[in-house]
Structure 1
Amino acid sequence: MIRSLPVIAMLGLALSACAQHQPPQVRGAAFYAKYCTSCHGTSAQGDGPIAASFRVPPANLTLISERNGGVFPIEDVMAQINGYEGRHQFGGMPEFQKDLNGPVVDYVAASGEVIKTPKALIDMASYLENIQRD
């Protein structure tokens, strides 16, 4: 067993490295599957298994661009996903700040401002942008 520990550790490192090299949409899809399907559903249309229990139904995430004149508002989407502490106590989406641990990268906002942003947050927004209906 002790001899196999280094092999197991190396395998774990290799799998972690592979995950980092996946396209953002794939990493975002994994985040979505873990945190969002219970409310927004696997189709992202607001039809998750607990959606009916909410006073305000979860949004159809495939229509974000349509609701914004054909433009995907990536910064607004990231702000909504990230949230802020205490927001959930008033209803709506829970805050995901604590679930977005991991590498932080420089995100260049539309204004040109460089913002340190969790890579997972950018990946999630990229996934949502990718699933927009035309």
Structure 2
Amino acid sequence: MSRHAALVFLGLAAAGCAAVTAMPEPPEGRALYTDYCAACHGPTGKGDGPLASEGGLRPADLTRIAARNGGAFPRVEVLSTIDGYTKGRAEGPDMPEFGELLMGETVPVDTADGRPSPVPRPLAALMVYLESIQEVPS
């Protein structure tokens, strides 16, 4: 391969990699958590927010999602709960609808089936943050 062709190939490969949007980092999701979730689930995710007693049932402790799932963080279940897909099926108070979390660009999320799924960036960011606050059972 000529040097010119190799440079063109490398340039195209780099452009292709740049087109893939990277997964959000936890701080992006933390800001969304504060705006959308902390009032019920509390500032640390323990289910003790100022509105936790409204509706009769205490919101879930979001730091124990993985612990309740045998140590694995169930990304698909978490995404489905936040986006409202499982509305009415989960135990506990109904989650409000978060339409704004379902808008915007999508990012590829590994949902453990070997195929990345396109997920709206705000929803993915919130999932990444929740995954980052999981407590390890002692």
Please say whether Structure 1 and Structure 2 have the same fold, judged by a TM-score greater than 0.5. Answer: yes
The residue number in structure 2 matching 1:5 is: none
Write out per-residue CA displacement over residues 21-73 of structure 1, whole angstroms, 9 at most, x where no aligned residue.
99520110000000001100102100010111122210000011111111111
Bigger helix fraction: 1
Choose which of 99, 123, 126 in structure 2 pairs with 1:124: 126
Q: CA deviation at 1:116?
A: 2.1
Please give the per-residue CA displacement for 1:79-108, whole angstroms capped at 9, x wherever unaligned. Answer: 1111149x48xx510122333322112334
Structure 1 segment 24-35 matched on structure 2, within 5 A: 24-35=25-36
CA distance in 2, matches of 1:75, 1:127: 15
Please identify the structure whose Cα radius of gyration is greater. Answer: 2
Q: Is the partner of 2:125 in helix, strand or coil?
A: helix
Identity of aligned residues (%): 40
The alignment's TM-score, normalised by the length of structure 1, stands at 0.73
Partner Cα distance (2:42, 2:103) in 1: 23
Alpha carbons 1:24, 1:124 under 8 Å: kept? no
What are the ranges of 5 or more consecutive residues in structure 2 without an aligned counterpart?
1-20
Paired position in structure 1 for 2:94: 92
TM-score of the superposed pair, with normalisation by structure 2 = 0.71
Query: How many correspondences in the alignment?
Result: 112
Distance, in Å, in 1 between the alignment partners of 2:23 and 2:111 is: 23
Indicate the larger mover: 106-115 or 73-82: 106-115
Asked if structure 1 preserves the Cα contact closer than 8 Å seen for 2:24 and 2:124, the reply is: no
Amino acid at match of 2:114: G
| Offset, 1:110 | 1.9
Q: Which runs of 5+ in 1 are unaligned?
A: 1-19
